[in-house]
Amino acid sequence: MSQIIKDLYYGNISPWEKSFDRDSEYGKELKTVSETEEKLLSLLKEAEKELLQAFSDAHGNMSRIAIADGFIDGFCLGMRIATEVMQKQY
């Protein structure tokens, strides 16, 4: 059996886990989001904080769904390409 299939089966491959460099574009944007959220929370009353948290949770859930869908679509496209390449007669 292929090692990559074994690794996937045993949980050694986790496509959703990815580290990042804090100095990368992503890291800098994440810092901005975090700092902005802290400033915004300091200005809000408790009911408003709860509303913002509900919004943030819903937005996070939408992002997770979109990322998973994109991963699945990309994986399927890659498999279709690989299948077509394997069927080509050279």
Residue where the block lists tokens 């074994």: 6
Q: Is residue 48 part of a domain?
A: yes
Number of domains in the chain: 1
For residue 67, what are the domain limits?
A: 21-87
Residue 9 inside a domain? The answer is no
Residue with tokens 């059996």: 1
d(Cα 47, Cα 73) in Å, to the nearest integer? 39
Condensed to tens digits (0 to 9), the pLDDT of residues 26-48 reads 999 999 999 999 999 999 999 99
Instruction: Flag whether 16 is in a domain.
Output: no
Residue 82 lies in a domain: yes
How does pLDDT run across 10-27, given as a tens digit for each residue? 888 887 777 889 999 999
pTM of the model: 0.68
The Cα 46–Cα 54 span in angstroms is 12
| pLDDT tens, position by position, 40-88 | 999 999 999 999 999 999 999 999 999 999 999 999 999 999 999 999 8
Taking the C-alpha atoms of residue 51 and residue 35, their distance in angstroms, rounded to an integer, is 18
